[in-house]
Amino acid sequence: MQKKTYKKKHLTSFQLIILGFAGVILLGTVLLMLPCSTLDKVPTPFHEALFTATSAVCVTGLVLKDTGSYWSMAGQTIILALIQIGGLGVITVAASFSLLSGERISLMKRSTMQDAISAPKVGGIVRLTRFIIKGTFLMEAAGALLLLPVFLPEYGGKGIWMAVFHSISAFCNAGFDILGTADDPFPSLIGYSGNVLVNVVIMLLIIVGGIGFLTWDDIYTNKLNFQRYRMQSKIILITSAGLILFPTIFFFVCDLNDLSAGKRLLAALFQSVTSRTAGFNTINISDMSAASQTVMILLMLVGGSPGSTAGGMKTTTFAVLILNAIATFRSQENAGAFGRRLEYNVIKNAATIAMLYFILFFCGGIAISVYEGFPLLDCLYEAASAVDTVGLTLGLTPRLHVFSQTVLIILMYLGRVGGLTLIYAVFSGGNNWNAKLPMEKIIVG
């Protein structure tokens, strides 16, 4: 009698990525629930620990408890480790341990590493991973050293920890701060709104962490020869510059009228940088106008760049949609930039990702508003901050009930693993039937 043979099923790289993030979140939750993780030496409820661990691994920055006044040094260290793992990516961190141990990297692992950092090809992926690890620690160390002159005189020996924590948090676009006290919780960087050094260092760390590892590699390889950059790097740099410049002008002209010209410009620039990816703030966001808050929601939805420490639907997705619209306006068959044509699949993926993030954003905001009874704009702001892993808040997050906290946890997780990663992980291995059906036209617009 012939024996049946069963084909062993392997997890795809996309499934490994989403399961890896989930595993680290659960481990972080267990560690944060321990009494030693809090200053008062009391166990943290599961849902609060889960929320904090998810926010850290997903480099968001939304919190239920003030990080500086609630968590002990052990708890803050756990949070910082989760931020570092989440910023680099679970697969990249795992690969770095394999490289340090001298383990041979298999083709399957290389393919997973490629998907994790959005690299265009498998070739050179080990070199690129080494470059990412070295570059990350170098940038974070430089940021900590530059912040020391501010934190060391103010906090003494603890200032070293403050500088390291905020440098890593900024580079990983996490937005966590440990400046809060029992009397003044959730301050973010409001106390340093006029400090040029802190503002500039934090902004540079956010930008460098948010432009993507492949863009670093382009800049490192080709220096300032912009013409030799990949088209993706060119689009990322120009789009990022525009998304910093124009909102800065808007905030400066339309808001922050109670500040002097110098502080007003600094605050406008900082809010423009942090709104897309980071979650730090140097002014009270609740005091800004509804128009400015709406602009910040749009910036949050765009987010950072592919293969970076930031979340969101990505600058390249936004740029591709704009380029496609321009091509349509000009009655051009193909969208493109810098003398290169965009693939049809890229445009299709961009539209799919944008739709996914907008659906998550609207559904999450409406669900919270209906359940909590808060104004819809405020709830949409929190939802955008969660799904795009930004971390800015209008003060609603600590006041939410468990249901709304769960909504934000789901949004943070889905926002960090990425739209395409989620889609491919769910539908990979399914029916890839590509037969062409008869065509029929419909009218749009």
How far, in Å, CA of 161 to CA of 163, rounded? Answer: 5
Which two structure tokens, joined as six digits, stand for 281? Answer: 């703030």
Note the pLDDT of residue 6.
Answer: 46
337 falls within a domain: yes
The reply to whether 247 falls in a domain is yes
Tokens of 414: 């889905």
In this prediction, the residues of the chain whose per-residue pLDDT falls under 50 are 1, 4-8
Residue 186 lies in a domain: yes
- Which element (helix H / strand E) includes 340? strand 340-341
Give a yes or no: residue 439 inside a domain.
Answer: no
Q: Which ranges in 103-191 belong to alpha helices (H)?
A: 107-116, 125-155, 158-171
Give pairs for 282-291: CB < 8 Å, separation 24+: 282/188, 282/189, 282/190, 282/192, 282/193, 282/199, 283/190, 283/193, 283/256, 284/190, 285/392, 285/393, 285/394, 286/394, 286/395, 288/251, 288/255, 288/256, 289/254, 289/255, 290/377, 291/254, 291/255
Cα dihedral 228, 231, 237, 241, rounded to 10, equals: 120
Residue 433 lies in a domain: no
DSSP state of 330: T
Q: Is the residue at 445 inside a domain?
A: no
CA 356/CA 344 separation, integer angstroms:
19
Q: Is residue 356 domain-resident?
A: yes
Residue 227: inside a domain: yes
Contact (Cβ atoms closer than 8 angstroms) between residue 56 and residue 43: no
Provide Rg for the chain, Cα atoms.
22
In this predicted structure, what is the pLDDT of residue 7? 47
Predicted TM-score (pTM) of the model is 0.88
Beta strand pairing call for 340-341 and 336-337: antiparallel
- pLDDT, position 309: 79
State what percent of residues in the chain have pLDDT above 70: 84
pLDDT score for 258: 87
Total domains present in the chain:
1
pLDDT at residue 332 in the model = 85
What distance, in Å, lies between the first and last C-alpha atoms of the chain?
A: 63
Domain range spanning residue 53?
Answer: 13-111+124-425
> Residue with structure tokens 């770095």?
96
> What pLDDT was estimated at residue 310?
80
As a whole-number percent, the residues of the chain with pLDDT over 90 amount to: 48
